[in-house]
Amino acid sequence: MDAIPLIQARLAEVEERGGREPLTTGRLAALWRAEARAAVLGLTIEDLRRYCLEMLRSRRALDDDTPDYLRGYREGFQLLLRDLRELE
């Protein structure tokens, strides 16, 4: 899938910027999950987009006391969705 190199580049960028703060580890977790999903044979970019949207939909709304890890997790999927739009 064309998105795998894109995801790997985003992973490298987040790792380089981040450290091991909860926000960063949440972003990395989302990107690792998306990378594993993208590696499934036969899936399209549209399938990956639907997966990311479903992962965002399944989480409760963020409020002021949301843990940084969960906030980063959502941000990871949002970053990937933006990247997928640019890929097409």
Predicted structure pTM score: 0.87
Chain centroid offset of residue 80 CA: 5
- What pLDDT was estimated at residue 18? 76
The stretch 32-43 carries a mean pLDDT of 92
Domain boundaries, the chain: 3-87
Task: Let me know the angle formed at the C-alpha of 33 by 30 and 81, rounded to the nearest 5 degrees.
Answer: 55
Residue 88 confidence class, pLDDT cut points 50, 70, 90: confident
Q: In terms of C-beta density within 10 A (0-12 exposed, 13-18 middle, 19 or more buried), how is residue 12 classed?
A: exposed
